[in-house]
Structure 1
Amino acid sequence: MNMQPLALAFLATAAVGGIAWVFVYPMLSGEKKAENRRASVAKSEPVAARQSQKDQRSRREQVEGTLKEAEARRAKDSKVTLTTRLTQAGLEWEPRKFWIFSCILGAVGFAGAMLAGGGTLGAVGLGFAAGFGLPRWVLSFMKKRREKAFLRALPDAVDVIVRGIKAGLPLFESLKVVAADSPEPLRSEFAAIIETQAIGMPLGEACGRLFERMPVPEANFFGIVIAIQQKSGGNLSEALGNLSKVLRDRKKMAEKIQAMSMEAKASAGIIGSLPPIVMLLVYLTTPDYISLLWTHPTGQLMLVGCVIWMSIGIMVMKKMINFDF
């Protein structure tokens, strides 16, 4: 039997069927009409959808611009002036008054060391520490204490603003409520925002300047949220509600870290206090034995070395047990 005609007939049938599948079947099954409908729908896409995508892109660009401005401001304010530090500590002093107070402390320290017979070198060192180091340490202590008080009250203040906005109050009126009823230093900071806005500065920029007077990340978050909402709009109550949740979570994390690091802090305190305590006990029991440390030149050198190494060890332990988040 000759198979060639059958093979040719099979190939011809397959070719005709393929051509019919490609060209005829779409018309009969309605696929061509469906494609035409999809094309017409794509051509007649609502302008609102394209406008929404454009608005989302614009909003993203505004958010990125605001974040870049905040980073630039933070980099610019990395070198804080003395006037700003006094403001951050809650003092209404002028730099001149601070310098006069520092000079008085330095003179008192120098005179006290000279009267106690500490020598010229010791008196100069004590005067420098009292006039230059002590005022700045007190300033830093007051600044940190004020920041902690601000962070304790900020989540509640944000909740008050959220409830005011949901009740129909404008943002400016909600800020007035916070400035009237909040404890210090939150009251004075929000009062400064209201005063700054009252003289013509935009509210977003006025809230952004809160970070200059209160340099904590939470204040920066608040200023960024308000600035973004003022520029691009959006649901402010929802944004501030999320901010309040973030602030409370950060507070919980800080307290958890503090609790977990208390054991290490206690160990560091015991280790750091053992040498001076032992030195004091030995001096009380046998003063002639340990007095060689400050009467003999070799003992004085050893004492200076011990103080230096102890200071380095304490700083290393403090760096190890202080956690930033």
Structure 2
Amino acid sequence: MNTTFLTFAVLLFLATVLAIEGIHLYWMSHYGAQAKRIAARLEFSSTANQGGGQPLSILKDHKLSDSQWLVQLLADVPGVHTLDRALKQAGMKITVGRFVGYTFACAAMGPVLGVLLSLKVPVQIAIGCALAVAPWLTVRRKRSQRLKQLERQLPDATDLIARSLRAGHSFASALGMLADEMAEPLGAEFRTAFDEINYGVSMNTALHNITERVPLDDLRYFVIAVLIQRESGGNLAEILTNIGYIIRERLKLFGKVRALSAEGRLSAWILALLPFVIVGILAVLSPGFIKIFWTDPSAEKLAFICVGMMAVGILWMRKIVRIRV
């Protein structure tokens, strides 16, 4: 084999390897993870040395959206923080911006279905509004389920803290044990509070933050009892044991009320769904009979009146069968 060609091939291979290595080193030094950490530390140091900068917080910053311009737009909308709090209470990881996008996407399905089914504009608007409410109803349902699960876990949590206090542990270490041993979602909430305390947040602030994240009356009683005991003294283990007993008895009473009102709730569901089921069956068996409700003007007005009266009846039945304990 020609020696010159072999030497050229070896040199070309070495040049290619060195070029790739040089590009890799350049990328890592400017855009790698270590370079980003160094840049973040330098930016943090420069910000900390400026006197007129924003006050630093050790609490985690929560963004309303991944897009900066959408964050600035949502920041001025009233009620956006209430929606953000509801998403966090539901245990959903999506941001407010993404939730708004889902809402607009569902609302846009109304005109699309209206065009495909040749419906009139008022019907399209009504379908779009009904579909736009679907994401919020999903959030409320998940939030209610999560809060109920938290409420069921709370008596066991108070008993665990009381046993830890009787064993000689401090209240802060009892919170850490609770965060490690309690299942989700209550364990995650107390883990957040325990981390806040370790990072320097005061005990009172960390406990108040729990009540903001979890709006349960029983949890507020728990926090109030702990704060009063820290100010005035007393047997905290006995207090927490009594709180756990009261919560369990209230849950038992609530279960009895639900069992006694099950027939009424089932009747309400049947009365609420029966008109829509009948309309659906008639639309399949006799399309011409139902078609009059969106072709004749008088029938359209009558349909809107009927839907409005059914909505009022559903809300009234819901108020009757919901019994607070």
TM-score of the superposition, structure 1-length normalised?
0.70
Aligned equivalent of 2:112: 111
Question: CA deviation digits over 1:19-52, x for unaligned, max 9?
Answer: xxxxxxxxxxxxxxxxxxxxxxxxxxxxxxxxxx
AA at the equivalent of 1:160: L
Q: Secondary structure at the match of 1:91?
A: coil
Instruction: Name which of structure 1's ranges 248-257 and 237-246 shifts more when overlaid on structure 2.
Output: 248-257
SS in 2 for 1:90: coil
Change in Cα spacing, 1:193 to 1:259, as seen in structure 2 (3 Å) is same
Structure with greater Cα Rg: 1
Correspondence 1:23-172 to 2 at 5 A: 81-131=82-132, 133-172=133-172
What amino acid does structure 2 have at the position aligned with 1:123? Q
Q: How many angstroms does 1:214 deviate by?
A: 0.7
CA distance in 1, matches of 2:123, 2:289: 24
Secondary structure, counterpart of 1:323 in structure 2: coil
State the secondary structure of the residue aligned to 1:247. helix
Question: Which structure features the higher share of helix residues?
Answer: 1
1:252 and 1:316 map into 2 onto residues whose CA distance is 27
Are the aligned partners of 1:89 and 1:143 in contact in 2 as well (CA < 8 Å)? yes
- Give the aligned partner of residue 295 of structure 2: 295
Q: Which residue of 2 aligns with 1:205?
A: 205
Match of 1:320 in 2: 320
Q: Which amino acid aligns with 1:295?
A: T
2:293 maps to amino acid: L
Answer with 88-97 or 277-286: which moved more: 277-286
Give, in whole Å, the separation in 1 of the partners of 2:238 and 2:270: 48
Change (3 A) 1:140 1:286: closer
AA partner of residue 118 (structure 1):
L
C-alpha distance in 1 between matches for 2:184 and 2:294: 49
Question: Any conservation in 2 of the 1:207–1:222 contact (CA below 8 Å)?
Answer: no
Structure 1 residue runs of 5 or longer lacking an equivalent are 1-77
Shift of 1:315: 0.6
* More off after superposition, 271-280 vs 226-235: 271-280
What residue identity is the alignment partner of 1:119? K
Q: Check conservation: 2:218, 2:247, Cα contact below 8 A.
A: yes
Give the partner amino acid of 1:310. M
Alignment of 1:170-181 (within 5 A): 170-181=170-181
Partner of 2:242: 242
1:271 corresponds to: 271
Task: Please give the secondary structure, in 2, of the residue aligned with 1:114.
Answer: helix
Q: How far is the alpha carbon of 1:283 from its aligned partner? A: 4.7
Letter in 1 for 2:202: P
Which ranges in structure 2 are unaligned for 5 or more consecutive residues? 1-78
| Counterparts in 2 of 1:182 and 1:109: CA distance versus 1, 3 Å | farther
After superposition, the Cα gap between the structure-2 partners of 1:91 and 1:291, relative to the gap in structure 1 and judged at 3 Å, is closer
Q: Per-residue CA shift, 1:45-96, capped at 9, x if unaligned?
A: xxxxxxxxxxxxxxxxxxxxxxxxxxxxxxxxx9962221121111233322
Within 2, Cα distance between the matches of 1:138 and 1:172?
36
- With normalisation by structure 2, the TM-score equals 0.70
| Residue type of the alignment partner of 1:208 | H
